[in-house]
Amino acid sequence: MNKIYTFLLLAATLRADIFFVQTDPSPKLQISDIALPGGFSYTITNGESALWLELISISNTTTLFGSFSYLSSFPVLAPSGTITETYSPGISGLVEYLFDPSASSGAKDSGEFLFLANFYSSDPTAGPVAPRSTSQVSVGYEVEYIDQTVIPEPGMMVVGGLATLCVIGYCRRKKS
């Protein structure tokens, strides 16, 4: 009889509570102006039908060419609840990424965001309640700088020069 109770207790403690995170754009963000940040929107879904979810931490792996600023507050989701937050520069979304000014075109940072959440049997914002469990989810990301500055082709400069000479020649001929 004791073995059965031990097994049931062990099975209950090994159960992982579930939540889902989706970023947008997923997983790649392209930034074309090195002076301006780019960011990720997000959707978080509480996969538990009887437990409240409170996001308690968001972190990321090390970046080489820039840095992240976190915009999101830590939401609390009702059982089976979903929250979506659209990226707006400096205001809302999950994170904002800004490349170091010395980064060259084609520079890429990639890694993972790590989300940590507590699950509660009742609403944690309504008063003190001990967390029932903690769970984590990781989501991959990639950020790339693509310089889209227009640089004239040397051949186009020759064509432009010839056109200018033709106009000057036409104007001189017309004066004579």
* Radius of gyration over every alpha carbon of the chain, rounded to an integer in angstroms: 27
The count of domains in the chain is 1
Contact 58, 44 (CB under 8 A): no
In a domain, 155, yes or no: no
* pLDDT tens sequence across 48-86: 999 999 999 999 999 999 999 999 888 999 999 999 999
CATH number of the domain bearing residue 135: 2.60.40.10
Specify the pLDDT at position 1: 45
Q: Which residue has the tokens 């999950």?
A: 94
Q: Per the domain annotation, does 162 fall within a domain?
A: no
Domain extent at residue 119: 2-150
What is the token pair recorded at 25?
A: 């754009």
pTM exceeds 0.75: no
In a domain, 112, yes or no: yes
Q: Are residues 99 and 145 in contact, defined by beta-carbon separation less than 8 angstroms?
A: yes
The pLDDT value given to residue 73: 85
State which residues of the chain have pLDDT below 50: 1-15
Residue 175 domain-assigned (yes or no): no
What is the structure's pLDDT at 154?
62
* Dist CA 51 CA 123 (whole Å): 9
Q: How far apart are CA 16 and CA 18, in angstroms?
A: 6
Is residue 163 included in any domain, yes or no? no
